[in-house]
Amino acid sequence: MITFKRIAIVMLVLAAGASSVFSQDSTSVDLLNQLNDSIGKQAAEMDDVNSIFKATQIVNLPTVEQPGRNNLQFIIMHRFGKLDGGLYQLFGLDNATIRFGLDYGLTDRLSIGIGRSSLDKTYDASFKYKLLQQREHKMPVAVSLNEWATVQTIKYDDKPYLNAKYRTAYTSQLLIARKFNRNLSLEVVPTWVHYNLVPTPEDQNDVFLLGLAGRMKLTKRLSLDLEYDLLPGDPMPSRDIKPSFGVGLDIETGGHVFQFVFSNSQGMIGPYYLTETNGTWGNGDIYFGFNISRAFGWKKTKAK
């Protein structure tokens, strides 16, 4: 009986000692483990894959990125003349075309944009709608719909009858992108260009293309971008169009993204780079240029 009592006391003392040691050293870790259990749920809800690309376009092809709600992006796109212009044209620097654009996020999924290109004095209006958001576990790709309407306003002395209806073209693109890992993102872009008027009866009013694009991060703030627009058949014989191919180098700082680009297209918006590219890389028909975008935000973080 006495031995039992002793054992009981020893056990109690040990138990008490153990529990006090336990509470001294590991309670805070214990508390953290409790929190870790509940943060799992939060993490599952916040598994959106962001920053699939850095900018809203690769070189000319749009990306699935867009300004968020109440964010405004101002973009200046610049293409100099052909590099083969030689010293006389200072390798193209004498002839520059430029586009200014404003894009605004109405919601986190819908953004609208307007722009003006000096090439053919073209005005454009566009919207981008995010259909699907890439998610860590549930959704393998991001999908956005991109729509452009373009109207060129350059004056033709010989064709004064061309009214706005005939000067308008539409570009519809489905942007399907996936960020494979921290460094590599790829995008496939089925594209449909519709012209209200084409130069000759042989030319088709509807042109279908397949854009392929990718970004490879070189360092945290530097990435290499490539894009190619696959053009099946010869839908526009009078124009002798070539597939557009572009290479870009993105450099990002705080609110800016600088893109240095080389492309065989002088136009910077659909349908220009898609169906009016006639240069080939092999002949030195390369336009050097840059895109600079600056973001402005007014979204106030919700107070309480």
Partner 1 sequence: MKRLFFLIMVLALISVKSEAQSYFTRGGQISFFSKSPVEDIKAENHQVLAIIDPVRHKLAFNLLIKGFLFEKQLMQDHFNEDVMESDRFPKATFTGSMKEGVKEGLNHVHLTGQLTIRGITKPLNTMADLELKNQVLHGNCQFKISLADYKIKIPAVLKNNIAPDILVTVNVDCKLMQKK
Residues that bind partner 1 (CB under 8 A): 1, 4-5, 8, 12, 15-16, 19, 23, 27-29, 31-32, 34-36, 38-39, 42-43, 46, 50-51, 67-69, 71, 105, 182, 220-221, 252-255, 295-302, 304
Going along 10-165, which residue ranges are E strands?
Answer: 71-82, 97-105, 110-117, 122-132, 142-152
Q: Taking the complex as a whole, how short is the minimal distance between the CB of residue 98 and partner 1, in angstroms?
A: 23
**Cβ proximity to partner 1, 103 vs 187, nearer residue:** 103
CA–CA dist 141, 66 (Å, integer): 16
CA–CA dist 228, 249 (Å, integer): 15
- Give φ, ψ of 40 to 5 degrees: -55, -40
Q: Taking the complex as a whole, how short is the minimal distance between the CB of residue 24 and partner 1, in angstroms?
A: 9
Q: Taking the complex as a whole, how short is the minimal distance between the CB of residue 178 and partner 1, in angstroms?
A: 15
CB < 8 Å & 24+ apart, contacts of 85-91: 91/288
Q: Taking the complex as a whole, how short is the minimal distance between the CB of residue 27 and partner 1, in angstroms?
A: 4
CB 222 within 8 A of CB 258: no
**Cβ proximity to partner 1, 140 vs 190, nearer residue:** 140
**Cβ proximity to partner 1, 101 vs 270, nearer residue:** 101
Q: Taking the complex as a whole, how short is the minimal distance between the CB of residue 120 and partner 1, in angstroms?
A: 31
**Cβ proximity to partner 1, 12 vs 164, nearer residue:** 12
**Cβ proximity to partner 1, 190 vs 255, nearer residue:** 255
**Cβ proximity to partner 1, 53 vs 287, nearer residue:** 53
CB 263 within 8 A of CB 247: yes
Q: Which helix (H) or strand (E) holds 297?
A: strand 287-297
Q: At what angle do helices 2-25 and 27-45 cross, to 10 degrees?
A: 50
Q: Taking the complex as a whole, how short is the minimal distance between the CB of residue 126 and partner 1, in angstroms?
A: 19
> Could you give the count of Cα atoms lying within 13 Å of 106 in the half-sphere of its Cβ?
9
